[in-house]
Structure 1
Amino acid sequence: MSQPFRYYLRVRYGECDAQKVVFNARYGEYIDLAITEFLRALGYGEQMVTAELDFQLVRQTTQWRAPARYDNVLEGSVTTMGIGNTSFTLRVEFRVAGNPMVICESETVYVLVDHATLTKRPVAADMRERLERGAPGRMIDHAGYLSAA
């Protein structure tokens, strides 16, 4: 089985509490970053900039299993969980890079919308195909982790 799309980021000092543990609220940002890079990897970078591809978050569930700390490099893996008529669900799992244990997992449901009217619109066949295929083996490294390894 191929690797899912992976996104690497480094935990910054300002994202942590006094014990240097990542604030829970920061994971929403981390999830958003990982999903944005996943969608870029699917070829939607320009469409997100122009709002040709526009969507709204309608539900996000997050489960924490262990803390991330200051200066950890986190590896987020992104996979498609499901695709509806106007929605799609993505799963993000975070690990401390190099460790197989999942420290946080999230499922996020998005609804596609028309950027002008904010009304729902259907998932096009091309997008459905890209989401189903995913971006296996692709990775984005904003932490410099892979070049240092």
Structure 2
Amino acid sequence: MSISLEQAQEIIAVAQAHGRTAGWNPLSVVVLDAGGHPIAFARPDGASPGRFEIARAKAYGAVMLGMAGRAQMARAEAQPYFIGAVNGAFGGQVLPVPGGVLVRDGAGRVIGAVGVTGDTSDNDAEAALAGIAAAGMTGEA
């Protein structure tokens, strides 16, 4: 199973709507496939142009490590040298904070990741989970 473009667009739309309904700052959302390649991205009007790289780095770390953002942050706090080495291996493309959410299929296999940025990292993760659930998949924040 993989994430289709239609599912990726639904994830993005629901995640952004979740943030608007909650009164959060505008959310930028990217959906990556299992290889870390973007399927879809949306940045709302007025959001800074750097939001793509932030969202992508959150999702990229999740999918490449098979470890959601919260777990990456805990690992970075416990073993900063490990995350530093990982970031070096991946050319500085990993941002180990909540908001990078794994997407799993029904068998528990990682099929991609969602990265959300714009509000607090915890709110970003919550919005990603809402979008993933709406698309009929399982998220791991």
**TM-score, normalised by the number of residues in structure 2:** 0.32
Structure with the higher fraction of residues in helix conformation: 2
**TM-score, normalised by the number of residues in structure 1:** 0.31
Structure with the higher fraction of residues in strand conformation: 1
Rg bigger for which structure? 1
